[in-house]
Amino acid sequence: MKEVFRACKKCKLLTVDKNCPIHGEEKTSTEWFGFTIVTEPSLSVIADKAGITSPGNYAIKVRQ
Ligand SMILES: [Zn+2]
């Protein structure tokens, strides 16, 4: 069974939930593109550019 990942419009975190686990009220979207796994936000150039501070799976782009 394939799970559909959703991305938070605010922080781009990928989750299977309809709301972001970090932003509670923020709805997640299925319209996202690209994918990056961040394990060490402080060492990642992508994380730095995207303002990612917590490890996790993130979308590169989320349609607003
Ligand atoms: Zn979020």
11 near 31, Cβ under 8 Å?
Answer: no
Question: Does the residue 32 lie in any domain?
Answer: yes
> Does the predicted model carry a pTM greater than 0.95?
no
pLDDT of 1 strictly over 70: no
| 3-class SS of residue 45 | helix
Band the pLDDT of 2: cuts 50, 70, 90: low
CATH number at residue 12: 2.20.28.90
* pLDDT for res 27: 95
Helix (H) or strand (E) run with residue 47 in it: helix 45-50
Tell me, in angstroms, the distance from the centre of ligand 1 to residue 2's CA: 22
Q: Are 32 and 63 in contact (CB under 8 A)?
A: yes
Residue 39 main-chain phi, psi, to 5 deg: -105, -35
Cα 46 to middle of ligand 1, angstroms: 17
- Band of pLDDT at residue 34, cut at 50, 70 and 90: very high
- pLDDT for 60 beyond 70: yes
pLDDT of the residue at 47: 87
CA of 1 to the centre of ligand 1 (A): 25
Instruction: Please tell me the distance between residue 45's alpha carbon and the centre of ligand 1 in angstroms.
Output: 19
Query: Is 23 part of any domain?
Result: yes
Could you give the number of structural domains in the chain? Answer: 1
Q: Of residues 47 and 1, which shows the higher confidence score?
A: 47
Contact indicator for 51, 38 with CB cutoff of 8 Å:
no
